[in-house]
Chain A
Amino acid sequence: MRMSARRWCSMLVGLWLVSAAAFAADAVKEAPPVKMNSTADHSKFKQLQEKFASGPEVTKACLSCHTEAARQVHRTKHWTWEYMNPDNQQRLGKKNVLNNFCISISQNYPFCTGCHVGYGWKDKNFDFTVEENVDCLVCHDTTGTYKKPGGLAGNPVVGKPLESPPGSGKFINPVDLTKVAQKIGKTSRDTCGACHFYGGGGDGVKHGDMDSSLMAPDKELDVHMDATGLDFSCATCHATSSHDVPGSRYKPAAKEKHSAFIRGKADQGNPATCQACHGNMPHKEKTRLNTHAEKIACQTCHVPTFARGGVATKMSWDWSTAGKKGPDGKHMTKKDEHKHVIYDTRKGDFIVAEKVKPEYRWFNGDIKYTLLSDKVEKSDTPTPINRIGGSATDGRSMIWPMKIMHGNQPFDPVNKTLVMPHTAGNDDIGYWKNLEWEKAIASGMQNMGAPFSGKVDFIKTEMYWPITHMVAPKDKAVACVECHSAESRLKGIDGVYMPSYSNKGWLDLIGWLAAALTLIGVLIHGGLRIVMSGRK
């Protein structure tokens, strides 16, 4: 039996009407609102309804569900502030290294540990095994109200407002722990940035490629984190599992030859590198640049300058000039025309800069620190706080952009070691209050169990900071001519032939001379012809 076309049509129309009516009914009965970025609304949790008197109380509540979380955190650098470099067995981490900014955490724990993911690390006797001392909120706060001021050993202000500094009349309001706990969420540029943007004692001081401008950057400042565009959080690249954030500078990945990672592929390596997503041959139109990428780190071209979000970074810190007081006999600061502090009685002279062109070095990922136990020699050549490995020929190196921080910092000229002074603290030892190096250093070194002769001198140092953040859009990347010219950015880099920069002077000399002689020759020849024909 065959149905006529008309019957088919009328049947279809009927079906359509019925289903349309059904959809209409669905649309009227709207789906109830639901939180889409998580499967749990923490404000509904019974455990989080109480009034918390301290951070550890909140953690206890978190752990009642997230049973493994604290012990996961306990295994990470964020908790231990310690890292064993497997390549050279150096014991690193904030607990052990020193730098040429505020120098070290020794004897300054209550201040420094304002950035520890824990509560109560006020001296070297802190118990790292206590689960409740893990601070969940500092990374998972979404309200922006959770703050850990320096001096409280990683605790937030609770109870009543805290006058800070004492006697100043300025107060820090207590944190509403219940509200913060109920609004817990994923980490963000704000939470990571609360510490990492302020490394070295202030906004943008340390890294140069990380400062508060990255909390809501535009596309030009960072093409990935662009707040109105791709809006990456830190963890989009530093993809974390088991609370262990990958992509540490203690053992960076300098050269990645693989293509982009695919799910399920074994041995995925560091997810925070450019190549983890882009592979190592990402240039589809200008394929010549893929050849460049065999020797040049992505960052070298794609981070044209650092500190370009409006926040200056410190390029140099001279501790030797600290201690000068103002005419009133009090501590003073001097500022440059941009209102950047360039002298502070407690700290000495600074050079700060914005929109800084990096320096470039061959780098293979090896970093060796100068630790307290290493001998140093005072000379005009700066002592490296960290030595980076790399060369044009080792097969593991790429040309990387670097911030090179220059310092002039106290050291022990008798024992020939760097020193760790006690700087912060409202006591009669800390340098920032008392301005006496011997006392401050003796205290800091004693805390580390390190010898100190009692003599103090100053030593020039330098420290390498590989640059990797503040990735510009591709049309703002470093142009060819910035390296392919006499004033090349890569001036002094050996092992690469850069047309327009690396020319053999003698070849050019001979070549141009020969061309000039030819020209002079034909001109004389022609001139003679004219003269001779005139004579006839």
Chain B
Amino acid sequence: MSETKIYIFKRFERFWHWTQALLIITLLTTGFEVHGAYKLFGFEKAVGYHTIAAWSLVGLWVFAIFWHITTGEWKQYIPTLKKVDAMVKYYALGIFTNAPHPFRTTQLKKHNPLQRLAYLGVMLFIGPLIWVTGWFYIMHDYWTVWGLNKYLSLEWVAFFHTIAAFMMLIFLIAHVYLITTGHTLTAHLKAMITGWEEVDGEEVEAPVSK
């Protein structure tokens, strides 16, 4: 198999990814401290950092959503069940026997079907849950003024925020591991840093660089 590289992650996308990664790790670290899991920055500072990181992520997402819409990249996340079974089979068996990866990365399809489902799940379920609860949490000071305190309880807002945080943590663990399952151990990682992903040299769609 020849080594072929294709350009799949554009500059903004890579910036978005890494900034988001940093912010999510910050939010998890400070968030679980606020939740009482451990002591690191101290409660007051943890709350402060958490709030700053949260608003930063909101800002980043405004740009990301705009970028996805205007570039049409949102289509990368349209879910498909095609080859999902093959992907599951690959992760469960094929990967150990060095079987060929059932999915070929292309510029038009840069995520395999499982990735699509996972990322869509993050963006359509975990994301909204953590965002909506997080916003209510951050706006707690105004509940009385806005008349929300009759309908909301901080206890349950925090409860669902925490559930979403655990899900995000689980996603992060799985995600960090799965980046080692590319063409080579570091192929996915390199791709997200440089934009170029090494793929098997066949059936690639242009543009191609060697």
Which A residues have a C-beta under 8 Å from some C-beta of B? 287-288, 290-291, 294, 479-481, 484-486, 497, 499-504, 507-508, 510-512, 514-515, 518-519, 522, 525-526, 528-529, 532-533, 536
Chain A residue contacts of B34, Cβ below 8 A = 484, 499-500
What is the total number of residues of chain B having a CB less than 8 Å from a CB of chain A?
34
B36 pairs with A515, CB closer than 8 A: no
Which B residues have a C-beta under 8 Å from some C-beta of A? 33-37, 42-44, 47, 91, 95-98, 140-141, 143-144, 153-155, 158-159, 162-163, 165-166, 169-170, 173-174, 177-178, 180
Given A484-B43, A497-B154, 20 other A-B residues pairs in contact with their CB atoms under 8 A: A287-B141, A288-B140, A288-B141, A479-B44, A480-B44, A481-B42, A481-B44, A485-B43, A497-B153, A497-B158, A499-B36, A499-B43, A499-B47, A500-B33, A510-B166, A512-B166, A522-B174, A526-B177, A528-B96, A532-B96
**Cβ-closest 8 pairs across A and B:** A511-B166, A522-B177, A500-B36, A497-B155, A532-B96, A481-B43, A497-B154, A480-B44
A503 pairs with B44, CB closer than 8 A: no
Chain B residue contacts of A508, Cβ below 8 A = 35, 37, 162
Chain B residue contacts of A290, Cβ below 8 A = 141
Chain B residue contacts of A294, Cβ below 8 A = 144
B163 pairs with A511, CB closer than 8 A: yes
Chain B residue contacts of A532, Cβ below 8 A = 96-98
B43: shortest Cβ distance to chain A, in Å? Answer: 4
A507 pairs with B163, CB closer than 8 A: yes
Specify which of A497, A500, A503, A525 is in contact with B43 (CB 8 Å cutoff): A500
Specify which of A484, A486, A504, A519 is in contact with B173 (CB 8 Å cutoff): A519
B43 pairs with A533, CB closer than 8 A: no
- Cα–Cα distance between A342 and B158 once the two chains are bound (Å): 48
B173 pairs with A485, CB closer than 8 A: no
Chain A residue contacts of B35, Cβ below 8 A = 499-500, 503, 508
B156: shortest Cβ distance to chain A, in Å? Answer: 9
Residue contacts A-B, CB under 8 angstroms, 13 given: A291-B143, A485-B36, A499-B35, A499-B43, A500-B33, A500-B34, A507-B159, A508-B37, A508-B162, A515-B169, A522-B174, A525-B177, A529-B96
- Cα–Cα distance between A498 and B104 once the two chains are bound (Å): 50
Chain A residue contacts of B141, Cβ below 8 A = 287-288, 290-291
A526 pairs with B173, CB closer than 8 A: no
Chain A residue contacts of B143, Cβ below 8 A = 291
Chain B residue contacts of A499, Cβ below 8 A = 34-36, 43, 47, 158
B37 pairs with A502, CB closer than 8 A: no
- Cα–Cα distance between A288 and B144 once the two chains are bound (Å): 12
Known: A480-B44, A518-B174. A511 touches B162 (CB 8 A): yes
- Cα–Cα distance between A526 and B153 once the two chains are bound (Å): 42
- Cα–Cα distance between A510 and B159 once the two chains are bound (Å): 13
